[in-house]
Chain A
Amino acid sequence: GQNIDQPTEMTATEGAIVQINCTYQTSGFNGLFWYQQHAGEAPTFLSYNVLDGLEEKGRFSSFLSRSKGYSYLLLKELQMKDSASYLCAVRDSNYQLIWGAGTKLIIKP
């Protein structure tokens, strides 16, 4: 079966750095997405990785290792507004998005 694993909840301090991991087992791979979702709102796109390596976009970076079935989202200089759920999603061979359950990130002052 297809499976995406990510931690349920993480806590970090304002101004610090946090890394959210995602491991996946899917039938085929056509890219990995990270989305941010604030409570009561729809997800918003953060990043996309299809090749191995690090993609940097401002305070957020995303890393992919296809051979390990592994990705992480790195958030730097954490701000209170970064408190949200972070969803990892993998697009399989049918171009369907397989979603992880999300990681709830709590930022403390």
Chain B
Amino acid sequence: GAVVSQHPSWVICKSGTSVKIECRSLDFQATTMFWYRQFPKQSLMLMATSNEGSKATYEQGVEKDKFLINHASLTLSTLTVTSAHPEDSSFYICSARDLGQDHYEQYFGPGTRLTVT
């Protein structure tokens, strides 16, 4: 099946710094990638939809200036958490949609656990 990688798998940073998370589709091209955030014991929350070569579409309540998304190629999207604060500590998961699949299944990366101290 299709594989999506994320890097790093976990990161600890100090409050006020920025963190970049990479999401790559390894064996398929993904014109659309999704970024989710998940707090402990809660469901996935879609943050934004990222389309290759265009601006990301952010969900209501997600600050686009704080969570910068770049989808530079068909296999790479990045999420940068700028000026991170402890409340940004969460599990960030990306997924990519494989248009080669009949039902446009979304494949998830392994997630990045961010801890802001």
* Interface, chain A (partner B; CB < 8 A): 31, 33, 35, 40-45, 48, 50, 87, 91, 95-97, 99-102
Contacts and interface: CB of A to CB of B under 8 A. Distances in A.
B43 A99 contact: yes
Given A41-B110, A44-B108, A50 B43 contact: no
A102 B36 CA distance: 15
Interface in B92-117: 93, 103-111, 113
B44 A31 contact: no
Contact of B44 (A40, A43, A48, A50): A43
Contacts of A100: 43
The contact size tier of chain B is 10 to 19
Grouping DSSP codes into helix (H, G, I), strand (E, B) and loop, the A interface class, with mixed when no group exceeds half, is: loop
Interface of B: 1, 34, 42-44, 46, 49, 91, 93, 103-111, 113
A96 B34 CA distance: 10
Nearest to B104: A95
